[in-house]
Every structure is written in C-alpha cells, then in structure tokens.
Structure 1
Amino acid sequence: MNPSTSSAHCVGQSPTDDLMDDWLFLSTESAGPQHMEVSREDQEGEDRGKLKSKLVSAWNSVKYGWSLKQKSKFSKSSPVIMHGQSYELKDQGERERFRRSFASLLWLTYRRGFPSLAGSSLTTDSGWGCVLRTGQMLLAQGLLLHLMPPGWTWSVSHHAVKDDMDLLVIRTTDSAERGLNLKEGPSKRGRKLSLDSCLNRTMEASHRRVVSWFADHPTAPFGIHKLVELGKSSGKKAGDWYGPSIVAHILRKAVAASADLPNLVVYVAQDCTIYLEDVRSLCERPPPQSWKSVIILVPVRLGGQELNPSYITCVKKLLTLQCCIGIIGGKPKHSLFFIGFQDDHLLYLDPHYCQPTVDITKESFPLESFHCKYPRKMSFSRMDPSCTIGFYAKGQKDFESLCTVVYEALSTSAGTYPMFIFAEGKSQEEERSKTPTNNITYIQRKSERKRVDTSNSLDEFVLL
C-alpha cells in the first residue's frame, strides 16, 4: 500500500512521529546487554535475526502503516449507522452518544515487541497481520455483545475538543463517570456513588478481561500467537497474508479451544450457505439449559476485482441490523473492519498502525491503545469484494429473529444471485474442508456445483 494513497489512520501522531518512535524502538532494543554465557557466534546469529526482524518491521510500517492524516467529514443532514444504531449528528446529544459508542469499540492493530512467533524470529505483525487483526476486532465485537449489558459504553469521560463534524476528536480521561445529580442530598449521592462505583468496577473488570484475551502473548486465547498457531493447518505461517475466509475458520477454532467461553460457539457458512441444522446442532443443549450463543461468519466474494454495485444496498441493509457485528475484508496488505456507513461511505476501523505491545499482566494496564478516537470513512466504491460478514445471536429466539431480518435484507439484492442463503439440513462437506488448505473452492448454484481456480484471487472465496 503506497503511503500517499492509503487511508488515514485512527491516531493523532504524524508520520514523522511514528517513524522516529519506530527507530528509537529499534535502536534501544538492538543495544541491549549481551549475556556472557551464550557463545559469541550464537549471540551474533540471534542478534542478526532480531535486527532483520526489526528492519522488516520498520520497512513494513513505512510501506503499509504510515499515511498522511486526513479529515473524515460527516454530514449533519443524514444519520450515521453503526452496528445497527442510528445517530443524528445534527443533535449534540446524538453526536456525543456516537462518540461514546465509537470510542468503546475495541481497536486491535499491528503491534511490535511481542514474544517471537513460533517458528520465526518475528516480533511484530506489521505489514502482514492486518486480516488477523480485523478478525480479532470482529470477534471482539461479538464478545462485547455476549458479555456486556446492552448499550454498554467504555466507562470513561469523553470530552469533545472540536464540536463540528469535520473531525471527530475524543479525548479520554481516567475518571469514571458517576452520573451524579448535584441537587441531590448527600445520602442519595452517596448511595448512587456506591452503586455506580460497584457497577463501573464490575464492567471495567469484564472489559479488561476481554482485552486481555487478545493480548500479544502465547497464552492469550485470541492473541496473534494463538491465531498464527491455528493457521498452520491451513498452510499458513507467521509472515504470510491471511485471507478473510481462512481467518473466519481460525476464529472458529480459537473459540472452540477456549475454556473461557463455554456458552459461545462460532459457525462458518459453507459455499455462501448457512445450514440451519448445522447451527442448531452447535447451539442446542439438553433441557433445561438454553441454547448456546452463536457468532455466524459468512465468507463471500461480492464481485470480481471490484464490488458489484448491485450488492451495495444489501450491504447497507445488513449493517443496519443490530445482529450484524461487522464486515472484515480488503485488498492484500490492507484489510479493514467495516462497522457502519453514512450515505455512500463506509465507516471503518483500521488496523494499519503499529503500536508497542502492552503488558496485560499488570493489574491496571493502559487501555487507551485498544480504543480508537477518530472515525474514518471511505467510499463504497473502494470496498474490496473479498469479505467475511459477522452476526451474533444470544439465544434461540435471537437466532430465529436473525434469520428473518437477514433474509429480508438479502432480498434487496433482487436481480442478482443472493450474497448468501439459508438452507435447511446439513452441509455435505467433510470436516477437513471446513479449513481451506488450497486455492480451489466450490460454487453452488442450485443443484449445480463447479470447481473454480482462485489462485489469482485473494483467497478461497465463493464468487458471486
């Protein structure tokens, strides 16, 4: 991705600041003390490997991660749709609600300085891990819906430093909002303070726990190390580019392997088809227990080299649904996490900013780098057709409602083949085919099935 043509990022630093920081990071680590017990030859080889990794990281950051900071302009005459919620920006209260909701989303980006990935000397995913990061954000949104109360927002004060919509800037502070009414008597204020403080502590503990699951450490269930490990069965390794379809299957495996989420499963659609019996078999539990919650991931390719315009209305309809947790996808080396839209522009979170790794073992590790302050937009015409669309249903009734509203949204693509479909029964695919290992995929058109070589495409997508 050429820095002059790349999209703006969710940070306030200038390209010069980032460059200086990366090189300071490089020079300070490479100048670290040597251990006398290690042979000089081994130490020199290890240092060369680390130096090469850092140089590659710095070059990838220049090539893929730095761009000129641009303003995203939001019109006050039309609403912003984000994760199924509508925000009227002409109203100051609605603008603040949008700011709070946006700043509460988990933003997972390139990181540097984490423990080496298995089988490599890489200590950063800069330049190659963007789809893994967008996949993390998609899963994180599902986890927030799964674990946090409806309407939850990050419990910090958000102060707008500029009140027009040319650039939405949010400054966060460490003070938690108490919601106190100054006219209340001391006893009422004290009781409310105690209740709010207890609630804030509980929610903040859950918030931190979710963030820690995505830490850049081998023990984190959804961290970069775990995802790379699970990608080996798909023929991927650290430093490779991962497509949205493969990432969907990696996320399914990661959730299945996690002991932290016994009541959540991930289902990945096959051949653009959600097989209802497969979903039910995943979610059903013996009475009197209820269904497990489910995240449904649908890998699709909506056109050839460009997004088919006939699908834009359908994409908008899906993003207006509260059950839709977002869309990941993009060109090689430049994947984005789409979370909403305004008019003909998509709203997104961008992982292409390399930040230092955060030590989540500290009791109060900083959270600011996991939350983005600056909303960004891009035209639908620039959206790459290679996507994975995510949905979340908390229970059986929610799943049935999801099927209804998503089916209605898909019907807006009349005149073209649906983006994906629902079907009764089970998939006939073998378990081994659930994780793609090559560039051959199948396209299902009613009863006809064809083989298609997609080696010159981004990944193993079903082409519509």
Structure 2
Amino acid sequence: MFQSLLNLKYSWQQSSKEDINNKELVDAAISILGFSIKNLPSEKKKEIIQQIYSRTIWFTYRKNFPQILNSQQTSDAGWGCMLRSGQMIWAQILRVHIRQKKQHSKDYQYKLLCAFSDDDDDEHKKMFTDNFKLCLSPYSIQKIEAISQIKFSMKPCQWYRPDQILNALSLLHQQKQLEGSEDLEITISDSLLYDRLYSEMYGLKMDCEHIVNEIKQDKNKEISKICNICQKKDPKALAIFFITRIGLDEINKEYLPFLNDLIDLPQFQGIIGGRDDKAYYILGRVNKRLIYLDPHYIQEHINRGNVVMLKDTFFCKDVKYINEEQMSPSIALGFYCQNQSELDKFFNSIEQIKKNYDNEKTFGYISRITPNSYIIGFDENDILVIKEDEI
C-alpha cells in the first residue's frame, strides 16, 4: 500500500506528461535517438515515436534488492534517479553497438538486461573477489554504488551528478565488458576535441606529435594514415559523453537552438538531466518539447533469475514530454560513433552547426586540436598531464 502511494506521488509530481496532437506534428522538427522523422502523415509520425519509445530500455527505482554497501538501503527510491538515467543511456548505446554486429548473439537482449539487473546473493559475493569478470550484472546498482564509494569517496545512496554516474559506469566497463562490447570505448569530457576522440578510438597516446602536426597542417584532411609511424591499434567504436552546463542556476534559453541541433544529429543517443533534482533520460524532441523516460516509479527488484518473467517492467508505453525550458542546466549528452567515418561525419556536422551561431549562443569547447597546451602523458593515477604553452 505504501509503495502504491509513493508511485501515486511520483506520478502526480511528474504530471508534465502531455500528449502530442496531430496538428503539432504536421511541420514539427522530430528527432529521437538519432532518427529524424519527417515527410510523413501526423499519425505515422506519432506511431514511429511510440515504437521507438516503447522499445527503449527503461530503468526505474527498485525495491527489496540486496543491501547497498555500507548501508541498510534495499531500495533506491528518492535518491537513485540519476543513477537509473545513467544506466538507461549506457544500455541504449550498448544495444545500438551490439545490434549492428552481424554475428551478435540471439539472446543479446537477455544478457543486456541481466547486465543492469540487481545483484542476487551469488552475484553479490563476486563483487569484491577475483571473480568479478564472471559477473553477469556488471552494471547493477550495488556495483555502481560500491565503485563510486571506493574510487570517488561518495557516500552511500547519495544523489549523483551526470559526470559521477558516467565515470562509475566507465570504470565498471573497463573491468568487465559485456559480450559484444569489447571493442567499445567510453570517453567523458566537458569539451569535444577531435584529436582526443581520434586518439581514444585508435588507442593512441595524446603526446603523439604526428597526430597533432597533421591536424594542424590540414583541418580537412583525411587522417586515417596519420600514425602509420606509430603502432596503431585496431579502432574501437566510441561512446562519447559530453558533460556541460547550459546555464547557471537555470537554463539559458539562448543555448536551446544549439542544443536542439545537437539532438538532431544521427549520432545522438540521449541526454541525462532533468529538472528540480529529478533526473530523466531524454531521448529526443518534438519541436521544443523533449521526449523522456522517467525513472521515478518503484518496481520490484529484478535479478538474472527473474528477468524473463518480469521483462515487461523494462519497457514503458506512455510517451512523456517536458518543455525544454523547464530543464535543469547540468546535463550530459551521449553520442555513438561506430568507426572513423562516423566520427568524421559527427565532428564535421558539429563544426557546421557551430558556424550558425555566435559564440555566446553555444556551449562547451569544440576544436580539432587541444588548445594552447600540449599533453605530456599520464601520471601514476592515469590523470592527463597538460603543460601550458609559454607566451
């Protein structure tokens, strides 16, 4: 009864759910998870939005799972919404990456859902042993909480910022890759720098002078042959997370047209952000209204033993919208580039978009090369060491 009242409370608080009428869809700019929907009747547009939305993995608050490390908590209700939103955007990128492989396993979706499921007792025991690579739920809430406490000194069950949940997921991905994601690299930054993205894709050190010099010489040059001198690794796909603020205490409306253009890119895979300390996973937009999945709903815990039986609890049918001006300014945008060709298209598109705006109407630093500095390498803590140019 108490949980039902809580869910009623969350539903009432999230009453921004609005339906889109056919008239609004006639000439609407519609983008959702890299798909642009246009030149179709309004009913068909609405149908496609519904199809994509209802097939996107949805994570919500859960209850009655094994306790969080250093806590008595067995539910994340009230504090885990950014954590669940981070799980959603990472699950979406994993899904896209694995599905585009010609030989992906037929049960990939089951394995993907298991990867984010709550720990059962057996899985819980593997967390602090040498058996971590045998875990079937590397992105469970228990493991996210544990690595956040150990690596980032976070307190148990505290609210996450976008960068905190993404860094936790990145560390877990380094320790255990889901089958089919071994060739997927995560990059998290508050800037978009082509030389860094290229280096991440090919596993190159950022102090490679051949990369920097070639890009400086010709910004439009195909750079696939830059590092024949270096021992270049096979390229990996990139999950690019762009951490930014689009305002101080509230959103700067002048940034919104630029944000909408980024949402319209084919590489776009969502935003984690929200409003009033409530985090959402934003999938796209219809004009100035954002399409989002809402984690503020309490459901029974799921582990690998009951995933199949409770599979429907991972998907939501009721499409929700929020006016973009209601968002909180702290957000993280996610993009996926399968290969260098996609990375080139992605960066060229962003450069073209940026030309349409004055600098004060864009956010984040976007450049082909790391500016006014050069990267010496990494210190013993794997932190980039950057030396400023002398003037």
Cα pair distance change 1:282/1:68, threshold 3 Å: closer
Counterpart-to-counterpart distance in 1, 2:114 and 2:232: 32
In the alignment, is residue 418 of structure 1 matched against residue 362 of structure 2?
yes
Which residue of 1 is the match for residue 139 of structure 2?
A: 222
2:3 maps to which of 9, 15, 22:
22
Which residue of 1 is the match for residue 238 of structure 2?
A: 294
Measure how far apart 1:347 and its partner are. Answer: 1.1
The amino acid of 2:115's aligned partner reads: W
Measure how far apart 1:428 and its partner are. Answer: 6.9
Cα deviations by residue, 1:402-442 (Å, 9 ceiling, x for unpaired): 1111222334442416322134246579665969xxxxxxx
Cα deviations by residue, 1:372-423 (Å, 9 ceiling, x for unpaired): 1011111111011101111111111111111111222334442416322134
Which residue of 2 is the match for residue 341 of structure 1?
A: 285
1:254 maps to which of 155, 172, 185:
172
Which residue of 2 is the match for residue 86 of structure 1?
A: 36
What are structure 2's unaligned runs of at least 5 residues? 125-134, 204-229
Give the alignment's TM-score, normalised by structure 2.
0.76
In the alignment, is residue 143 of structure 1 matched against residue 90 of structure 2?
no
1:209 maps to which of 97, 111, 114:
111
Counterpart-to-counterpart distance in 2, 1:346 and 1:405: 22
Counterpart-to-counterpart distance in 2, 1:314 and 1:103: 27
Cα pair distance change 1:374/1:65, threshold 3 Å: closer
What are structure 1's unaligned runs of at least 5 residues? 1-19, 24-57, 153-198, 436-445, 449-464
1:398 maps to which of 338, 342, 363:
342
Which residue of 2 is the match for residue 265 of structure 1?
A: 185
In the alignment, is residue 121 of structure 1 matched against residue 121 of structure 2?
no
1:284 maps to which of 186, 196, 202:
202
Select between 425-434 and 226-235 the one with higher mean Cα deviation: 425-434
The amino acid of 1:315's aligned partner reads: L
Cα deviations by residue, 1:145-174 (Å, 9 ceiling, x for unpaired): 101149x9xxxxxxxxxxxxxxxxxxxxxx
Counterpart-to-counterpart distance in 1, 2:331 and 2:48: 29
Instruction: Describe the SS at the equivalent of 2:353.
Output: helix
Cα pair distance change 1:410/1:130, threshold 3 Å: farther
The amino acid of 2:184's aligned partner reads: L
Percent of aligned pairs sharing the same letter: 23
Q: Is contact 1:241-1:332 (8 Å) kept? A: no
With a CA cutoff of 8 Å and minimum separation of 6, indicate the structure with the bigger relative contact order. Answer: 2
Measure how far apart 1:21 and its partner are. Answer: 6.3
Counterpart-to-counterpart distance in 1, 2:267 and 2:308: 32
Q: Is contact 1:410-1:419 (8 Å) kept? A: no
Cα pair distance change 1:104/1:68, threshold 3 Å: closer
* Count of matched residue positions in the alignment of Structure 1 and Structure 2: 333
Which residue of 2 is the match for residue 42 of structure 1?
A: none
CA RMSD of aligned residues (A): 3.2
The amino acid of 1:228's aligned partner reads: E
Cα pair distance change 1:412/1:133, threshold 3 Å: farther
Counterpart-to-counterpart distance in 1, 2:25 and 2:335: 29
Cα pair distance change 1:363/1:120, threshold 3 Å: closer
The amino acid of 1:122's aligned partner reads: Q
Counterpart-to-counterpart distance in 2, 1:427 and 1:348: 38
